[in-house]
Structure 1
Amino acid sequence: MRKIFILFAVVLIGFASCTDSGQSMTITVTNPLALERVGEMVEVPMSDVVAKLKLADTAQIVVLDVDGQQVPYQVTYDEKVVFPATVEANGTAVYTIQPGTPAPFDVVACGKYYPERLDDVAWENDLGGFRAYGPALQARGERGFGYDLFTKYNTTEPILESLYAEELNPEKRAKIAELKKTDPEAASELQKAISYHIDHGYGMDCYAVGPTLGAGVAALMAGDTIIYPYCYRAQEILDNGPLRFTVKLEFNPLVVRRDSNVVETRVISLDAGSYLNKTIVSYTNLKEAMPVTTGLVLREPDGATVADAANGYITYVDPTTDRSGANGKIFVGAAFPAQVKEAKVVLFSEMEKKERGGADGHVLAISEYEPGSEYTYYWGSAWDKAAIKTPDAWNKYMAEYAQKLRTPLAVVY
């Protein structure tokens, strides 16, 4: 597994004060819920750490638990120290930040831009992987509106880079093209051997997106009509582990009602230990309030869904691309820290079903977007071949996740 050493620079305050061995910062984390919080990320502004510890520009820090053991942490692009905290139900936990040399930490959350695969941006943590489609795919005329996902099991290490490397291996692809002329069966076997659509023991891509919202894309609505966003036009990876991956995506201008040049921006982050991505969506040049929806594509008209506006989450049990059941079931969902106006299942007409590549509809959670604001929500997935085995377990996870979003950990220092 890759490891990363945490290094950072801070404003010079004075080298002598940096070396004060007794300087430390106590972080008290309180859990107001009757639910245990395990590995939930706590954020402390780096500026507060610098001020409290009187750090010099060459200083390093460590984060310690109550037993004095080092806790993995990361300094993010927006200058926050993030680390996983575990707090008992209705309990508190104490952590310490102090000058010191951090241990190397395993890289858990990470991602990459893949221009060689039609400009995919793909990322993962210990529990699963995801991707957003890019301009090269759009240029081919493919309608990749939604998020795709990769299942993962039997490992907590990053796997996507190796999956892409095999899938795109130029020598093996050339060999497949050659074999198709003389030995189609051998060509098929080699194709299966390198494909990330086949489970080789660590996970796979067995989720169908098509021209839909996929696994949780947000979109503006004109009345009841979804304004489908196309592929991103520009990407910037802001954080790349060890504990958090963050990417900023910017989209092509749209005409929305009477507003022209409306540009959508998304900031997506995935933390170690979470099944869900945090996504912050904003629209520039939008002049009036509009409905915004988050959707999960349905591949069955009567599939197992939950649409709970009051408690702030939606879920669906996806049958995967193999309807025989060989690939198991994928649980998808979205959770919302703010009040949801409406959550419901919307089925396509026969005409729209053809337009949407045979999909049956969406589970939608609808809110209101005010110009100049940010729309924040969480979306993601689990696989029944990994830790979460049943729809009930997934729905419990999602319901509790929504509770935690609406009742965050309290951090005092």
Structure 2
Amino acid sequence: MKKTLFVAAACAVGLCGCSDSQSVTVSITNPLGMNRSGEMVEVPVEQVFKKLNLPDTAQVVVYDSKAQEVPYQLTYDDKIIFPVAVDANATVDYTIQKGTPSIVNTLVYGRQYPERLDDIAWENDRAAYRAYGPALQRTGEKAYGYDVFTKSVEELVVEDRYKMELDSASRAKIAELRKAGKKEEAQNLQNSISYHIDHGNGMDCYAVGPTLGGGTSALLADSAIVYPYCYKDYEILDNGPLRFTVKLTFNPLTVKNDTNVVETRIIQLDKGSQLNKTTVSYANLSQPAPVAGGLVIHAASPEAYTYSAEDGYIAYADPTTNAKADNGTVYVGAVFPAPLAEAKVQLFEKPVGDALGHVLGITNYEPNSDFVYYWGSGWSKYGFEKAEDWNNYLKTYAAEVRSPLVVTVKD
């Protein structure tokens, strides 16, 4: 388990433990009539440090209303982020002051895997995801959308999965056994290292192919999806312990009369969340265009979708790559803070493999703006027993992002 020491300073832990008792109060107000717990709030670093009269190299501690230390992270865009709990229609105060923060476990992490065709994979304590890279694109394989890795434990698992799956000694032995005609032994060894099999913490059992997969966004041209391909360039901006952020830039697209439309995505996953916040922009687009977040529909469960433009979400209960195996159900979904123009199912003219089409949430994109939405997954073997549980999670999430917590920094 990775551990991170946020910062270090000569100050004892505790609200009264510092010789300099100066502190900043951050008030969090919940405008909704439901309790909210674990949401990450953002406070500008500059605002806090200015009020505390601290240099930017100083270190701070965050406390809740019961004087309990709260883990935090400093982000690439100069924010202090930390999880909060606020009752329905209530306000709660958190305190930030100079001090020595405790060491905490890193539960959010990701990196590029050049050893696996430039995958970028990332995870938190709830789920794991993958975006395909340029090395895969060069093979000719079409994989447009986000992939989902299921998880059933809080600990980080993706690094070990790749290491196991790509182990060169095991791969060489498998080839040797197959060459010797020992097919059963080869298959048993193959199964023992495969991340497509659950070895106790989850697996890769979700199919993407030439679709939007588990929540990718795309522009629409006369209702046709303009598929993005694999990313061209990437930059990891945050890497735990509470938030992972990656910036992806794509090769130019042709959208109607615009032939040099360049998409940029900033994907952010926080501890405790099933969903990735994603900010999408399109350079060199000359006119407004519909943009959609989409989920692929597979033939084994052709009607397992739900959507609501009014409530701001789309959902699908995916049967996994082998619906007859004991892989459970992968729940995928997307949430939209801004009002949707439409939510609907759009089927292909004919199936693409076992993919029938998509359930889409559609809104209008204005040139030189940002499209912000959330996408992600859950698993029937880790907290979501049935589709109703997942749909309720998405409805609640949509309500929360449409009525965000109000953060006020006081002296």
Using structure 1 for the length normalisation, give the TM-score. Answer: 0.95
Does the 8 Å CA contact 2:144/2:211 hold for their aligned counterparts? yes
Does the 8 Å CA contact 2:238/2:246 hold for their aligned counterparts? yes
Does the 8 Å CA contact 1:8/1:58 hold for their aligned counterparts? no
**Which residue in the other structure is 1:322 paired with?**
322
Match for 1:376 among 372, 377, 380? 372
SS at match of 1:347: strand
2:375 partner letter: W
> How big is the shift at 1:202?
0.2
Unaligned runs of 5+ in 2: 10-17
Question: Where is the strand percentage greater, Structure 1 or Structure 2?
Answer: 2
> How big is the shift at 1:56?
2.2
> How big is the shift at 1:400?
0.7
Residues of 1 paired with 2:226 and 2:55: CA distance? 50
Q: Which runs of 4+ in 1 moved over 3 A?
A: none
> How big is the shift at 1:390?
1.0
Does the 8 Å CA contact 1:164/1:196 hold for their aligned counterparts? yes
1:228 partner letter: Y
Residues of 2 paired with 1:299 and 1:93: CA distance? 45
**Which residue in the other structure is 2:259 paired with?**
260
Residues of 1 paired with 2:88 and 2:380: CA distance? 27
Residues of 2 paired with 1:178 and 1:325: CA distance? 28
SS at match of 1:345: strand
**Which residue in the other structure is 1:172 paired with?**
170
SS at match of 1:360: strand
Say whether 1:310 aligns with 2:306. no
Say whether 1:2 aligns with 2:2. yes
> How big is the shift at 1:358?
2.5
Residues of 2 paired with 1:357 and 1:235: CA distance? 30
SS at match of 2:238: strand
**Which residue in the other structure is 1:12 paired with?**
none
Deviations 1:114-164 (A, max 9, x none): 0000000000000010000000000000001000011000x2111000000
**Which residue in the other structure is 2:335 paired with?**
335
Does the 8 Å CA contact 1:109/1:125 hold for their aligned counterparts? yes
SS at match of 1:324: coil
Unaligned runs of 5+ in 1: 10-18
Identity of aligned residues (%): 56
> How big is the shift at 1:57?
4.2
Residues of 2 paired with 1:28 and 1:365: CA distance? 34
Using structure 2 for the length normalisation, give the TM-score. Answer: 0.95
1:202 partner letter: N
Residues of 1 paired with 2:386 and 2:94: CA distance? 35
Deviations 1:353-410 (A, max 9, x none): 1xx3330110011111110000000000000011111111111110010000100001
Match for 1:405 among 398, 401, 407? 401
Match for 2:381 among 366, 385, 388? 385
Residues of 2 paired with 1:328 and 1:42: CA distance? 33
> How big is the shift at 1:325?
4.6
Does the 8 Å CA contact 1:133/1:232 hold for their aligned counterparts? yes
Corresponding pairs, count: 399
Does the 8 Å CA contact 1:319/1:325 hold for their aligned counterparts? no
1:139 partner letter: R
2:88 partner letter: A
> How big is the shift at 1:7?
3.1
Does the 8 Å CA contact 1:303/1:317 hold for their aligned counterparts? no
Residues of 1 paired with 2:390 and 2:243: CA distance? 23
**Which residue in the other structure is 1:363 paired with?**
359
| More moved, 276-285 vs 63-72 | 63-72
Does the 8 Å CA contact 1:307/1:315 hold for their aligned counterparts? yes
Q: Indicate how the Cα distance of structure 1 residues 227 and 94 shifts in structure 2: closer, same or farther if over 3 A, else same.
A: same
Q: Indicate how the Cα distance of structure 1 residues 289 and 342 shifts in structure 2: closer, same or farther if over 3 A, else same.
A: same
**Which residue in the other structure is 1:269 paired with?**
268
SS at match of 1:205: coil
Deviations 1:242-271 (A, max 9, x none): 000000000001121111211000000000
Cα root mean square deviation, aligned: 1.3
Does the 8 Å CA contact 2:8/2:101 hold for their aligned counterparts? no
Residues of 2 paired with 1:59 and 1:226: CA distance? 49
Residues of 2 paired with 1:191 and 1:62: CA distance? 48
SS at match of 1:41: strand
SS at match of 1:130: strand
Residues of 2 paired with 1:376 and 1:124: CA distance? 20
